[in-house]
Chain A
Amino acid sequence: MADLVSHPDEVRVVSKRFGEGATDIDRYLALDGYKATQKALTMGADAIINEVKASNLRGRGGAGFPAGMKWSFVPKQSPKPKYVLCNGDESEPGTCKDRLIFEHDPHSVIEGVIIAGIAVDSHQGYIYLRGEYRYLIEIMEKAVADAYARGFLGKNIFGSGYDFECAVQTGAGAYEVGEESALMESLEGKRGIPRIRPPFPAVVGLYGGPTVINNAETLANVPHIILGGGEWYASLGTPKNGGTRLFCLSGSVNKPGVYELPMGYNLRKMIEVAGGIWNGRKLKAVQPGGSSVPVLTADETDIPMDFDALMKAGSMLGSGAVVIIDDSTCMVKYALRVMKFYQHESCGWCIPCREGTDWLKKTLIRFHSGGGVRRDIDNIQYLAENMLGRTFCPFGDAAAMPTISLVKKFRQEFEDHLEGKPCPYEDHGKIEHLPVLTAWDHRTADPWAQAH
């Protein structure tokens, strides 16, 4: 069970029921549970979509696409059944927020799925959780069963005449399945390889039917919007960035944790919310949206945390994972760890990603261990830049963007590793790090070991 934190600056909407025992359906009902679903049933599809549009709710998975607009793309008439998918594959390094929602407020996700279903006239929802979240799958399965037992799911929900079925699905370990079309492939019992777009999932998605797919946090916000009103929700954030967000503050801070703060909250203040930098160290950099986004240097952190402000600053708000890096960290090592992840998780379907991540990882391993030459620095950047926009899905960009920013903003650290010089940050330590590198080398030498 993950520990909860709190701070006076928090505005609790989606985390309102955390620690309140809301996994119990009666307790959930006492805390305004399922009121939003009943209200939505009387509102009708267009009114729901308009309310969500007015809320300026944007996708919490990373892309920040307006949720109401996404729903409005689903065609009204469809010969094939329509589907609602909840993406709970949460695998972006630094992200651990959906986990708390599933653990503390599972019914809010179910409500979000039902309401999205009513909005697009779908009668089947799936809640997909990553396989590692086994204890959460059990919580979600119980919540779904409880909702069925009360008549909140199934035929004629709340006596409204509307039918809605919902099931929980487990993954089995794959970052790429968090990509929307790869998730659909996985749910169809296949390898999680992304699909080409167009057609977009709103038109051709799961089983070829029109599909709404939203992140778990996005959907968990929907009942609050239905009850509180879109305008109220929008007013909590900044223009075009409605509401609050679960920020996962992790890394080199005194009090890491998931804090719910308004959209547009200042990043520097956010680091203070997390208790400031630990061990009397200084801030070096922040990855403000998970491992996929360009890093910000310490000087660039006086910035409001919303989708548009970060885009303007050349980074992204991503999944709400704020990784805070202190000045004892080797940024070459950091770049290497990020690339090792992408190399491991690349689905291998398209060449720029499969080959690019592999070469980048190999180069960075050699570079960090003192075997780099000056040419490598430009080569790392060149390789990463050539992945940008040239891959089947956003994975290639996700691997390239942080790498490019690390080389650009911390070039001196790369220079410091040249000519066989030992890593200047090895105090925590050369000897300790080497065995891990050996493990990576072992995998590089044995391609089959990577697949199994």
Chain B
Amino acid sequence: MQFSDQLEKRFAELQTHYPIKRSALVPMLLYAQDEVGHVSDEVVHEIAARLDLTDLEVRNVVSYYSMLHTKPIGKYNIQVCTNISCMLRGAEKVFDHIRQRLGIGHKQDTPDGLFHLEEVECIGACCWAPAMQVNYTYHENLTTEKVDEVLESLRKKETQ
């Protein structure tokens, strides 16, 4: 399986960090997912081969980490925190608003494949609550208006 040169460079550098190969597994899975879109069977098989592991050993690790997806998801992964600090400041209202706007629920995708919605646990934005992450980008001190702006700007980016 072919990864981009940039990712190959990253993988090679990772291996210089540890006394054992396997230590690179979690970062490799996440970085590969960033490039491929999800942790496909192919990705599992390739990484297993590179780290002298079985596919099963890799799958065993994949299933533990909540950021790793084994199936393709929408291009923009909208992750809304509804944990305590966010909940106290109206996160559920934000989450419901997005649900209605996109017409999808928790862990679902819009039919055009643009958005994936997830209700997530604390993302470390408690003092700027309510908050969400779109892929890796933080959006904080959310209001329903602010959420609309974010969704609108992502849509616009796609049609351009």
- Residues of chain A at the chain B interface (Cβ within 8 Å): 1-3, 5, 81, 90-96, 98-99, 126, 130-135, 167, 169-175, 186-192, 207, 248-252, 256-258, 287, 291, 321, 323-326, 329, 334, 337-338, 341, 344-345, 347, 428, 432-433, 435-436, 438-439, 442-443, 449, 451-452
9 contacts between A and B (CB under 8 A): A2-B127, A95-B126, A169-B27, A172-B67, A173-B65, A188-B23, A189-B22, A190-B61, A325-B88
How far, in whole Å, are A166 and B68 apart by their CA atoms in the complex?
Answer: 26
Instruction: Give which listed residue, A3, A169, A171, A443, contacts B65 with CB less than 8 A.
Output: A171
* Distance in Å: Cβ of B36 to nearest Cβ of chain A: 14
How far, in whole Å, are A321 and B84 apart by their CA atoms in the complex?
Answer: 11
How far, in whole Å, are A160 and B133 apart by their CA atoms in the complex?
Answer: 44
Query: Do the beta carbons of B30 and A170 come within 8 Å of each other?
Result: yes
Contact string against A for B residues 148-160, beta-carbon threshold 8 Å, 1 for contact and 0 otherwise: 0000000000000
Query: Do the beta carbons of B88 and A252 come within 8 Å of each other?
Result: yes
Query: Do the beta carbons of B89 and A251 come within 8 Å of each other?
Result: yes
* Distance in Å: Cβ of A318 to nearest Cβ of chain B: 13
- Chain B binding surface, main DSSP class: loop
Query: Do the beta carbons of A170 and B27 come within 8 Å of each other?
Result: yes
Given A287-B84, A341-B122, A436-B95, A173 and B23 contact (CB-CB distance below 8 Å): no
Query: Do the beta carbons of A436 and B107 come within 8 Å of each other?
Result: no
Instruction: Give which listed residue, A187, A341, A438, contacts B83 with CB less than 8 A.
Output: A341
Q: Does B8 contact A (CB under 8 A)?
A: no
Contact string against A for B residues 123-149, beta-carbon threshold 8 Å, 1 for contact and 0 otherwise: 111111100010011101000000000
State the interface size on chain B (CB cutoff 8 A): 55
Instruction: Give which listed residue, B68, B96, B124, contacts A95 with CB less than 8 A.
Output: B124
Instruction: Collect the chain B residues with CB atoms within 8 Å of residue A167's CB.
Output: 17-18
Instruction: Give which listed residue, B64, B99, B124, contacts A130 with CB less than 8 A.
Output: B124
Instruction: Collect the chain B residues with CB atoms within 8 Å of residue A126's CB.
Output: 17
Query: Do the beta carbons of A452 and B127 come within 8 Å of each other?
Result: no
Q: Does B46 contact A (CB under 8 A)?
A: no
Instruction: Collect the chain B residues with CB atoms within 8 Å of residue A188's CB.
Output: 20, 22-23
Instruction: Collect the chain B residues with CB atoms within 8 Å of residue A135's CB.
Output: 136-138
B63-113 residues with Cβ-Cβ distance < 8 A to A are 63-71, 82-85, 87-90, 92-93, 95-96, 99, 105-107
Given A334-B84, A337-B87, A436 and B26 contact (CB-CB distance below 8 Å): no
How far, in whole Å, are A187 and B19 apart by their CA atoms in the complex?
Answer: 11
Q: Does B43 contact A (CB under 8 A)?
A: no
Query: Do the beta carbons of A344 and B121 come within 8 Å of each other?
Result: yes
Instruction: Collect the chain A residues with CB atoms within 8 Å of residue B68's CB.
Output: 172-173, 452
- Knowing that A188-B20, A256-B85, A323-B126 touch, tell me 10 more A-B residue pairs with CB under 8 angstroms: A93-B83, A93-B85, A95-B126, A98-B124, A126-B17, A131-B65, A170-B30, A172-B66, A252-B89, A337-B84
Query: Do the beta carbons of B126 and A91 come within 8 Å of each other?
Result: no
How far, in whole Å, are A419 and B115 apart by their CA atoms in the complex?
Answer: 41
The 5 closest A-B CB pairs, nearest first, are A173-B67, A189-B25, A189-B22, A172-B65, A173-B66
Instruction: Give which listed residue, B64, B67, B82, B123, contacts A347 with CB less than 8 A.
Output: B64
A190's nearest neighbour on chain B, judged by CB, is B61
Instruction: Give which listed residue, A96, A187, A249, A433, contacts B23 with CB less than 8 A.
Output: A187
Query: Do the beta carbons of A96 and B27 come within 8 Å of each other?
Result: no
Instruction: Collect the chain B residues with CB atoms within 8 Å of residue A344's CB.
Output: 66, 121
Instruction: Give which listed residue, B63, B85, B89, contacts A94 with CB less than 8 A.
Output: B85
How far, in whole Å, are A174 and B64 apart by their CA atoms in the complex?
Answer: 8
How far, in whole Å, are A187 and B25 apart by their CA atoms in the complex?
Answer: 9
Query: Do the beta carbons of B126 and A321 come within 8 Å of each other?
Result: yes
Query: Do the beta carbons of A2 and B92 come within 8 Å of each other?
Result: no
* Distance in Å: Cβ of A254 to nearest Cβ of chain B: 11
Instruction: Give which listed residue, A81, A187, A249, A435, contacts B96 with CB less than 8 A.
Output: A435
